[in-house]
Amino acid sequence: MNQLEFDFIGIQDQPSKARPINESVIDFDEKIDWHRTCKLGDWILDKTPYGWRAYYKVQDIKRWFVTIYQRLRYGVADSECWSLDYTLSLYILPRLKHFKKMTRYTYPSNITPERWEEILDEMIWAFEYMLNEDKFIKFPMSSIDFNDPSSFNREKTPEQKQDWIRYLDESNALQYRKNQALLLFAKYYESLWD
């Protein structure tokens, strides 16, 4: 067999059991043994009262030790960076609230003290919204049955459609307000001193 013949051997000519590309690699008719720990460990956790609850509690304790170690060694833990916007909001919001309550003697020179108070209120609102959107807008639960997954795709009644339209309009308005407040935060970031 010369090189040209070798390069153009088809799948049907190959001696191996190669499957066509569109055929599944995993045969789902076969039962796949999958274990979280190992076969014996999973059996013990299944048979022990509160076994899995204890397993996950141990995982939480392990994550806590890793977090403490990373904070001591690096100053920041990986778990704080999983959702950095949320973590920063948790840090900024109480400080903005305290800054607003304390006696301040300065404000930006291009605005009035009353306008400065309004800007601070908007900044505080934006970070509160980022921490808990559900506090400001309610998700329309009337059109969803969580016990029936097909209800998400089911045709909605006119009232349910109106609820969704209202929800989307309110959500867009709140997102716009949040973005404007964050722009104010960026603009007056260097003015947050007394």
Q: What is the average per-residue pLDDT within 9-37? A: 57
Q: How confident is the model at residue 34 (pLDDT cuts 50, 70, 90)?
A: confident
Residue 174 · residue 136 · CB < 8 Å: yes
Residue 23: the pLDDT is 52
More confident position, 185 or 79: 185
Contact 127, 177 (CB under 8 A): no
Is 90 exceeded by the pLDDT of residue 151? no
Mean pLDDT score of the chain, rounded to an integer? 83
Distances, alpha carbon 9 to alpha carbons 4, 14, 20, 23, 128, in Å:
9, 7, 14, 20, 65
Highest mean pLDDT among 16-20, 72-76, 148-152, 154-158: 72-76
Give the pLDDT score at 74. Answer: 95
d(CA 114, CA 141): 40
Tokens of 149: 């997954």
